[in-house]
Amino acid sequence: MTDKLIIFDTTLRDGEQSPGASMTRDEKLRIARQLERLRVDVIEAGFAASSNGDFEAVRAIAQAVRESTVCSLARANDRDISRAAEALRPAARARIHTFIATSELHMEKKLRMTREQVLEQARLAVRFARNLCADIEFSPEDGYRSDPDFLCRVVETVIDEGATTINIPDTVGYAIPELYGNFIRMLRERVPNSDKAVWSVHCHNDLGMAVANSLAGVKIGGARQVECTINGLGERAGNCSLEEVVMAVKTRRDHFGLEVGIDARQIVPASRMVSQTTGFVVQPNKAIVGANAFAHASGIHQDGVLKARDTYEIMRAEDVGWSANKIVLGKLSGRNAFKQRLQELGIEMESEAEVNAAFARFKDLADRKSEIFDEDIIALVGDESVTA
């Protein structure tokens, strides 16, 4: 098994399925270029057969992107697969991602098909796609809620037909990390030709566990591709968040022992671009990309970080694309943080007594104002009249 973890970004396909997040061709192209700068391995650019607009977007991305593989989703039928192949024709590296549901619930109620019909359609779809493209991903939709025996048969069949990646979606975000990890491992152990394909995880966030489930799929299950989106964008509660899964694997390399090709300094620019384009605001306490992710407000923490950053930081803000970490001055701040900010602002105090007096005025002000900005400090030290 390789020690490289493939990062498959589906912001432009599954992410776009988020209500209100639909993007124009040009917006998608701009984001795809940023994803290439981020060095994602695979960009799922859209669902070419779903509309002319999406076909054009996939084609434009296939033309523009040279480093990452460009992928289009396609249902398991000849028309969808042909549209995907046509849109991907200009790509330097192309992938067709075809899917069909395999859970009893989806087959019976949604597709109104028998197991044998689904198995046959999956077989024919992968065979057809393989004649058009060398890189084929197959997803059994609602795979995690599918009967394992049937799922093993489907997966074995599509690998025999030439599928190169097998992606097991937790379509409705129902999984629990340990169970999902064991499920992937069980499939890999039971499918006789499993080592002929790369195994992939695709987790939705309905119970807030998409990242944890994906990591379990990698660590316990042995998956070597993670499907994810910038800011965790996606239908309902979203998908596995790229920034979280990538930084978990990088920061805890001691645990995962895997390489990811991502240029993490492009994470924050990518997050901002996706947020601005879709209008989906990133919550301040969101890991990695939230405004407070590297902000320190408590005096004890500020003091610690000023002495040695790793006291309260497990990653460097600069390494994920922030300009720096942030000491937020407020009522919990200590004298040390206040003095440091004076120095950064070029303010020199004559004596420690003067620092103490300014610090006392700062504390009084902080009791009345939740965040103290640089302008407040400048006013406070220059204006003796600022008192409690």
Q: Give contact residues for Zn ion (rule: CB under 5 A).
A: 14
The reply to whether 301 sits in an annotated binding site is no
Cβ at position 14, least distance to Zn ion in Å: 4
Beta carbon nearer to ligand KIV, 204 or 219: 204
Helix H or strand E segment including 70: strand 69-75
* Interface residue list for ligand KIV (CB under 6 A): 14, 99, 139, 141, 169, 171, 202, 204
Cβ at position 99, least distance to ligand KIV in Å: 4
Could you tell me the end-to-end alpha-carbon distance of the chain, in angstroms, rounded to an integer?
Answer: 66
Residue 99 binds: one of Zn ion, ligand KIV, none (C-beta under 5 to 8 A by kind)? ligand KIV
Residue 362 binds: one of ligand KIV, Zn ion, none (C-beta under 5 to 8 A by kind)? none
CB 230 within 8 A of CB 270: yes
CA 77, distance to chain mean position in Å, is 29
The reply to whether 204 sits in an annotated binding site is yes
> How many Cα atoms sit within 13 Å of 62 on the Cβ side?
23
Beta carbon nearer to Zn ion, 73 or 94: 73
Cβ at position 17, least distance to Zn ion in Å: 7
CB 213 within 8 A of CB 175: yes
Q: How far apart are alpha carbons 197 and 158 in whole angstroms?
A: 10
Question: What single-letter amino acid sits at 226?
Answer: V
CA 212, distance to chain mean position in Å, is 12
The reply to whether 14 sits in an annotated binding site is yes
Q: Is 114 exposed, middle or buried (0-12, 13-18, 19+ CB in 10 A)?
A: exposed
Residue 232 binds: one of ligand KIV, Zn ion, none (C-beta under 5 to 8 A by kind)? none
CB 76 within 8 A of CB 127: no
Residue 128 binds: one of Zn ion, ligand KIV, none (C-beta under 5 to 8 A by kind)? none
CB 347 within 8 A of CB 379: no
CA 335, distance to chain mean position in Å, is 39
Q: Which two tokens stand for residue 382?
A: 């220059």
Beta carbon nearer to Zn ion, 47 or 322: 47
Cβ at position 234, least distance to ligand KIV in Å: 8
* Ramachandran bin of 222, using left for φ above 0, alpha for ψ from -120 to 50, beta for the remaining angles: left
The reply to whether 255 sits in an annotated binding site is no
Beta carbon nearer to ligand KIV, 46 or 169: 169
Cβ at position 203, least distance to ligand KIV in Å: 9
CB 136 within 8 A of CB 130: yes
Cβ at position 175, least distance to Zn ion in Å: 13
Residue 139 binds: one of Zn ion, ligand KIV, none (C-beta under 5 to 8 A by kind)? ligand KIV
Cβ at position 288, least distance to ligand KIV in Å: 23
Q: How far apart are alpha carbons 238 and 231 in whole angstroms?
A: 9
Residue 199 binds: one of ligand KIV, Zn ion, none (C-beta under 5 to 8 A by kind)? none
Beta carbon nearer to ligand KIV, 83 or 204: 204
Which residues partner with 98 through β-bridges?
74, 138
Residue 241 binds: one of Zn ion, ligand KIV, none (C-beta under 5 to 8 A by kind)? none
Beta carbon nearer to ligand KIV, 161 or 303: 161
Give the residue numbers of the binding site for Mn(2+): 14, 202, 204, 239
Give the residue numbers of the binding site: 14, 202, 204, 239
